[in-house]
Amino acid sequence: MRKRNRLSAESYIKGILEGDRVILSRAITVIESNHPLDLPLADEILEGILPHTGNSLRIGITGVPGVGKSTFIESFGKTITTQGKKLAVLTIDPSSQRSKGSILGDKTRMEELSHDPLAYIRPSASGSTLGGVNQKTRETMLLCEAAGHEVILVETVGVGQSETAVHGMVDFFLLLMLAGAGDELQGMKKGIMEMADLLVITKADGDNKQKCKLAASNYRNALHLFPPTPSGWEPKVQLCSSVEKDGLEAIWETMDSYFNKVKINGYFQHKREEQHGQWLEESINAHLRNDFFSNLNVKSLFENIEPEVVHGKTAVSFAARKLLQTYKESTN
C-alpha cells in the first residue's frame, strides 16, 4: 500500500499543469522522498511534465551569513511579481548533521511574499548534500516550470568551499555581499566571485551607504583582474537596500540584459545542455550510492569493517575495495 495516500501519476501531472499549488507541493514531496515506492512514481511524474519545462529563468542566489538573503528575496520577489510574472522561490535550509533536522523557517521570514498569489515558496532541507542545495532541487525546478512559474529563485545555504553546486543548475548566479565587514576581497572566495554574473552589495542605506559604494568600487576593480567569462558577459557590481526597496529594479534590468545577451549569442542554450549532461552523471552517482548502501551484503560487511577502519586496524583503501567487491559479487 502506497504510504501517505499518494495520488496517481496522472493526477499529479494534471494538477501541476493546471497550476494547483497543493498538488505541486505534494508532487515535490514525492520527488524528494527516498521511499522505494515513491521512486517509480517520481519518474512517471517527471516524464509526464518534461515537455512543459525549460521555459523559466533560473536564478541562483547565495551570500555570506548575515547578508540578508531572505529579506532581499522577499523584496526582489515582489519586484518580479509586480510585473505580473509567476515566481517560485526554492529556499534551502541547513540540516543538522547530527539530527538531520532543519528549521525550514523561510516562509515565516518572507511573510509578505508568501501571501502573494503570484509567488510560490518551497523550503527544503539540504540534508547531507554538499553544494548548499537540496539533492532534488533540479527536479523541483522542473515541476515549478511545468506549473507555469516564469522565474525561479534558488536560495542556497551560504558561501563556502562546497557551496557552488547551484551554479551548475541555474542560468544566472547572483552573489550578495556585505560592506564594512573586514577585508572583503581577502575574505571572499575567489572561485565564487569568478562564477558570479552579478555582485550586489546589500544594506546600502543610512550610514552604511558610503561604505557600500567603496566596497562596490573595490569589487569592480577586482573583477577586472579575472579572465573573460565563457558567456561573453562582463559581471557587474550593484548596490541595493532591501528595506528601502532601492536598487531592486536596476538588478532585474541587469539580469534582463544578461538573458538577452546570452540568448542571442547561444550561450544560454549551450549552458542548459551542459547542465543536463552534468545532471545525468550526478544522478547516476546518486543512484549507485543508494543502491550500494542499501545492498544487504554490503550493509553487513560495512557494520563489521567500519569499526576496524575507525580504530586504525584496517586500511581505508582495503576496506573500500572489499566493500566494492562484495557489492559486485552480490549484483552479478
Same domain, 96 and 208: yes
Most confident of 4-8, 11-15, 159-163, 175-179: 11-15
123, part of any domain: yes
pLDDT, one tens digit per residue, over 39-71 is 899 999 999 999 999 999 999 998 877 889 989
321, part of any domain: yes
Q: Which domain holds residue 33?
A: 1-51
Q: Residues 222, 227, 155, CA angle at the centre, nearest 5°?
A: 70
CATH code assigned at 129: 3.40.50.300
pLDDT, one tens digit per residue, over 203-220 is 999 999 999 999 999 889
Same domain, 317 and 212: no
With a CB cutoff of 8 Å and minimum separation 6, the contacts of 173 are: 59, 60, 62, 166, 167, 195, 196, 197, 198
**What gap in Å lies between CA 29 and CA 135, rounded to an integer?**
12
Q: Rounded mean pLDDT of 130-142?
A: 70
Decide if pLDDT at 127 tops 70: no
Q: Report residue 94 as a C-alpha cell.
A: 541547513
Lowest pLDDT segment from 85-89, 106-110, 119-123 = 106-110
DSSP SS3 for 91 = strand
**What gap in Å lies between CA 55 and CA 32, rounded to an integer?**
22
DSSP SS3 for 198 = strand
Same domain, 4 and 98: no
Same domain, 106 and 65: yes
**What gap in Å lies between CA 240 and CA 212, rounded to an integer?**
9
Same domain, 40 and 72: no
The residue among 282 and 92 whose pLDDT is bigger is 282
Same domain, 68 and 45: no
Specify the pLDDT at position 2.
Answer: 45
Q: What is the pTM of this model?
A: 0.86
The residues facing 92 across adjacent strands are 124
CATH code assigned at 31: 1.20.5
134, part of any domain: yes
Give the H or E element holding residue 153. Answer: strand 151-155
Same domain, 107 and 184: yes
Specify the pLDDT at position 310.
Answer: 96
271, part of any domain: no
150, part of any domain: yes
109, part of any domain: yes
The strand ranges marked E within 54-112 are 57-63, 87-93
What's the number of domains the chain is made of?
A: 3
Same domain, 116 and 148: yes
User: Which strands, in side-by-side order, build the sheet including 236-239?
Assistant: 119-125, 87-93, 151-155, 57-63, 172-177, 198-201, 236-239
User: Cα separations (Å) of 210 from 63, 207, 213?
Assistant: 21, 7, 5
**What gap in Å lies between CA 224 and CA 221, rounded to an integer?**
5
Decide if pLDDT at 10 tops 90: yes
